[in-house]
Amino acid sequence: MRQSSLFLPTLREVPSEAEIASHQLMLRAGFIRQLVSGVYSYLPLGYRVLRKVTQIVREEMDRSGAQEISMPAIQPAELWQETGRWEAYGPELMRLKDRHDRSFVLGPTHEEVVTSIARDGINSYKKLPVNLYQIQTKYRDEVRPRFGVIRSREFIMKDAYSFDTTREGLDRSYQAMYDAYTRIFTRCGMDFRAVDADAGAIGGKGTHEFMALSDIGEDTIAYCSSCNYAANLEKAEVVYQGQPSEEAAAETERIHTPGVKTIQQLAEFLAVPAENTVKSLLFKLDQQYVLALIRGDHELNDVKLKNMFDANVISMASEQEVKDILGSPVGFVGPIGLEGKKVTVVADHAVKDMVNAVTGAGEVDYHLKNVTPGKDFSVQQYGDLRNIKEGDPCPQCGEEIRFARGIEVGHVFKLGTRYSEKMKATFLDEQGKEKPMIMGCYGIGISRTVAAVVEQNHDENGIIWPRSIAPFEIHLIAVNVKNEDQLKLAESLYETLLAAGYEVLYDDRPERAGVKFKDADLVGLPLRITVGAKAAEGVVECKVRKTGESEELSTDQLLDYLKATLSKL
Ligand code: ATP
Ligand code: MG
């Protein structure tokens, strides 16, 4: 492609709405443009990248045995009412009406549509398993669209759905997707981890999120410094080590603590470490109230609490509920004197080891000292209820846990029969018995993947594309197109490189050298060939964008050099 005719509107200034590097660079380098909040156009270079990622995804999905289809973005409300998600999905669902006042949604995902297709088209075990996928535009009215195409309201997703006759079949379909995702993100040049995530009611190894490691990521990943263990913060298991205190339990004391509200204030006021204090938090889990106790220096993990009770909905109790249920003011709640109250008391394992702890006294401006579980209050159930911390032991090998931030780029999930039961997507098994199909769903944010790769691969001058998804492989630059030797050599190299099968962006513009080099760094193609002062001798400069390494080569060495160098980028 000749750059003189390429539509490439670059920006000199950093756009003020862009907070992160990938967003700034994709705007500045003319890859994307915002139409309205969270809705973007892809310009020629951006679209080439998108197509390359799409192609990699398509190849690996096909290789895994999945079959590509295309489902509509417009979906009737009735389908969403069948699964209950018309209400449950909430305001993120883009709803619209046609001229007859019929309700529709713009699909944020396609479980309903694909399940209706399977229910119509599959009736026997003989037609299973099957995995259907598509690469298509999705709509979600995100509360806070941000970071450019990382969290947008219209975006491109690859979504796949597997249908099996047995749990073991689902495990195989899931593993095939897990392996395909690993190949896809590796091929895209991404630094990623597949992390164990919370699967809610399904439990077990029911879901993994593929995370691009990046400081701007919204999720915290706990990973092992030694083995391959990685999990979401909400999922990462804390191994209970059991280190009971040797101290003798003392007599409980009521202490006046005026104005003391937080654990930190309490620890300072009483001059005790935060780990000697207990936080008591009241939650509503479905219809029941639960008081969760956790060591003052630990963080409660509400997903773990929810799973302990197999609950569907968890919420923090309101001030009024705390008063009504415990008879205690917020901020001074404690586990003592709750006999006869309609509340279940549970605690994190670490609380079991505490002796002479500090807790709320259940009345304004008072706390209790020398409180010991077992002696002063009882706990119905102990469990793992806290977030893992850096330095805690890995649940797999015992080495130290560390934290990293991640951008979720893909998600594999065992759905089971959640949709097939509600929508009556059944098949007849070998005994002629009717059974619901066992499903899995698997998503990749294609547009988010592009931005995540930029987030991981850039410097202060611009983007650094991995070759596999770069818009072009080579940036050929004629430094001065008015110089006849330079122009002639550049033109002939352009033809040679195209004939050799390379994707070349040829900067043939009558611009100053400085402008051309700046633009080349910004756009970030993996390899640059500059035809300049030594053109008459048939010598050009080749520079690797990633490392900055450059060398002068005569044109007859060029093709060998390209073959060797590009294969490493
Ligand atoms: P998130 O927690 O980031 O909102 P999600 O759990 O809602 O993601 P899924 O429903 O699992 O996402 O969708 C599959 C994939 O689609 C995600 O892994 C992500 O890569 C991508 N994705 C989801 N929401 C968006 C969005 N608003 N903009 C761009 N990509 C998105
Ligand atoms: Mg979401």
Alpha carbon of 61 to ligand 1 centroid (Å): 19
The reported pLDDT for the residue numbered 502 is: 98
Asked if residue 14 belongs to a domain, the reply is no
What are 312-323's pLDDT values in tens digits?
A: 889 999 999 999
Based on the domain organization, do 313 and 425 belong to the same domain?
no
d(CA 350, CA 293): 10
Task: Report which protein residue has its CA nearest ligand 1's atom 28.
Answer: 151
Q: State the CATH number of the domain containing residue 560.
A: 3.40.50.800
In a domain, 247, yes or no: no
Q: Which ligand is in closest contact with the Cα of 445?
A: 1
Instruction: Find the CATH number of the domain harbouring 185.
Output: 3.30.930.10
Same domain as 74, residue 222: yes
- Nearest CA to 211 among 447, 431, 407, 474? 407
Ligand 2 center–CA 215 separation, angstroms: 19
- Give residue 184's pLDDT: 98
* Alpha carbon distance 459, 522 (integer Å): 9
Atom in ligand 1 nearest the alpha carbon of residue 449? 20
Taking alpha carbons only, the member of 287, 344, 345 closest to residue 311 is 287
Q: Which DSSP letter does residue 33 get?
A: E
Cβ atoms of 164 and 437 within 8 Å: the answer is yes
- Same domain for 305 and 191: no
Q: Tell whether 33 and 180 lie within a shared domain.
A: yes
Give the span between the Cα atoms of 292 and 335, in whole angstroms.
9
Distance of alpha carbon 229 from alpha carbon 394, whole angstroms: 7
Listed residue (111, 109, 112, 78) closest to 94, CA to CA = 109
The answer to whether residue 522 sits within a structural domain is yes
Domain-located, residue 79: yes
Looking from the CA of residue 445, the nearest atom of ligand 1 is 20
pLDDT of residue 203: 47
Q: Are 210 and 266 part of one and the same domain?
A: no
From residue 166, how far is each of 199, 412, 432, 518 by CA, in Å? 19, 18, 15, 57
Residue of the CA atom closest to atom 23 of ligand 1:
445
Distance from residue 445's CA to the centre of ligand 1 (Å): 6
Q: How far apart are CA 479 and CA 534, in angstroms?
A: 11
CA-based nearest residue to 3, from 450, 466, 569, 494? 494
Element (H, E) at 439: strand 438-445
In the structure, which protein residues have their CB atom closer than 6 angstroms to any atom of ligand 1?
A: 109, 140, 142, 151-152, 155, 157, 408-411, 443, 445, 447-448
CA–CA gap between residue 300 and residue 312 (Å, rounded): 18
Compute, in angstroms, the gap from residue 296 CA to the centroid of ligand 1: 34
Q: What is the CATH number of the domain that holds 360?
A: 3.90.960.10
Q: How far apart are CA 212 and CA 220, in angstroms?
A: 11
Please report whether residue 521 resides in a domain. yes
Domain boundary among 455, 490, 518: 455
Per-residue pLDDT of the chain (569 residues; tens, 9 = 90+): 999 999 999 998 888 889 999 999 999 999 999 999 999 999 999 999 999 999 999 999 999 999 999 999 999 999 999 999 999 899 999 999 999 999 999 999 999 999 999 999 999 999 999 999 999 999 999 999 999 999 999 999 999 999 999 999 999 999 999 999 999 999 999 999 999 988 765 445 589 999 999 999 999 999 999 998 999 998 999 999 888 888 899 999 999 999 888 899 999 999 999 999 999 999 999 999 999 999 999 999 999 999 999 998 899 999 999 999 999 998 899 999 998 899 999 999 999 999 999 999 999 999 999 999 999 999 999 999 999 999 999 999 999 999 999 999 999 999 999 999 999 999 999 999 999 999 999 999 999 999 999 999 999 999 999 999 999 999 999 999 999 999 999 999 999 999 999 999 999 999 999 999 999 999 999 999 999 999 999 999 999 999 999 999 999 999 999 999 999 99
Are the beta carbons of 278 and 169 closer than 8 angstroms?
A: no
Which residues are CB-neighbours of 501 under 8 A, at least 6 positions away? Answer: none
Residue 209 shares a structural domain with residue 83: yes
Ligand 1, atom 1, lies closest to the CA of 408
8 A C-beta contact, residue 71 and residue 468: no
Distance from C-alpha of 85 to C-alpha of 89, rounded to nearest angstrom: 5
Angle at 447 between CA 224 and CA 178, to 5 degrees: 45
* Best of 139, 140, 141, 157 for a ligand 1 pocket test (most atoms within 8 Å of beta carbon): 157
Domain ends where: 351, 383, 415? 383
Q: How many whole angstroms separate alpha carbon 265 and alpha carbon 245?
A: 24
**Terminal C-alpha separation, the chain:** 21
- Burial group, residue 66, by CB count within 10 angstroms (0-12, 13-18, 19+): buried
How many independent structural domains does the chain possess?
Answer: 3
DSSP state of 74: E
Distance 191 CA to ligand 1 centre (A): 18
Residues 295, 375, single domain; the answer is yes
Task: Tell whether 183 is covered by a domain.
Answer: yes
Determine the distance separating the centroid of ligand 1 and the alpha carbon of 407, expressed in angstroms: 10
Residues 559 and 506 in one domain: yes
Q: Do 113 and 212 share a structural domain? A: yes
Q: Ligand 1: which of 448, 449, 453, 455 to mutate, judged by most atoms within 8 Å of the beta carbon?
A: 448
- Residue 82 in any domain: the answer is yes
Instruction: Determine the atom of ligand 1 nearest the C-alpha atom of 142.
Output: 27
Residue 439 near residue 426, CB atoms below 8 Å: no
Strands (E), 299-394: 314-316, 344-348, 357-360, 366-371, 381-383
Q: What are the two backbone dihedrals, phi and then psi, of residue 131, each rounded to the nearest 5 degrees?
A: -130, 120
Q: Which residues are CB-neighbours of 542 under 8 A, at least 6 positions away?
A: 527, 528, 529, 530, 550, 551, 552, 553, 558, 561, 565
CA of residue 157 to ligand 1 center, whole Å: 8
Q: Which atom of ligand 1 is nearest to the CA of 159?
A: 14
- Residue length, the chain? 569
For CA atoms 254, 260, 262, 265, the dihedral sign is: negative
What range defines the domain where residue 536 resides?
Answer: 472-566
395 domain-assigned: no
For residue 447, which of 132, 68, 137, 17 has the smallest C-alpha distance?
Answer: 137
Residues 6+ apart with CB under 8 A from 521: 461, 462, 545
Distance 456 CA to ligand 2 centre (A): 22
Same domain, 501 and 433: no
Are 281 and 379 found together in one domain?
A: yes
pLDDT of residue 259: 86
Question: Domain end: 423, 455, 487, which one?
Answer: 455
- State whether 93 and 163 are in the same domain: yes
